[in-house]
Amino acid sequence: AAGNQGSKVTQEDIGKLVLALGPLVNTIKEKTFAKKEEAEKEVGKVDSQGGKVQLSSVQ
């Protein structure tokens, strides 16, 4: 068990990771939601032109 001490992750390490990744996660979320809104606008355009759109395929 003594050999595992070096690779043990502490709460402090997790805290540092969360702090480092927080802004990155927010950026990813913003980009993802922006893309989703754009996709919905595109679907709206096609829909208004009388095209048949399967919303289930848009995720």
Instruction: Tell me if 59 is assigned to some domain.
Output: no
Q: Is 41 helix (H, G, I), strand (E, B) or coil?
A: helix
Residue 28 in any domain: the answer is yes
The Cα–Cα gap between 59 and 52 comes to 17
For residue 53, count other CB atoms closer than 10 A to its CB.
Answer: 14
In a domain? residue 38? yes
Query: Is 21 within the bounds of a domain?
Result: yes
The more confidently predicted of residues 23 and 39 is 23
Concatenating the DSSP letter of every residue in 6-33 gives GGPPPHHHHHHHHHHHHHHHHHHHHHHH
**pTM summary value:** 0.34
Q: Is residue 52 part of a domain?
A: no
Q: Identify the domain containing residue 15 by its residue range.
A: 10-47
Average of pLDDT values for 13-33? 86
Structural domains of the chain, count: 1
Asked if residue 44 has pLDDT above 80, the reply is no
Is the pLDDT assigned to residue 22 strictly greater than 80?
yes
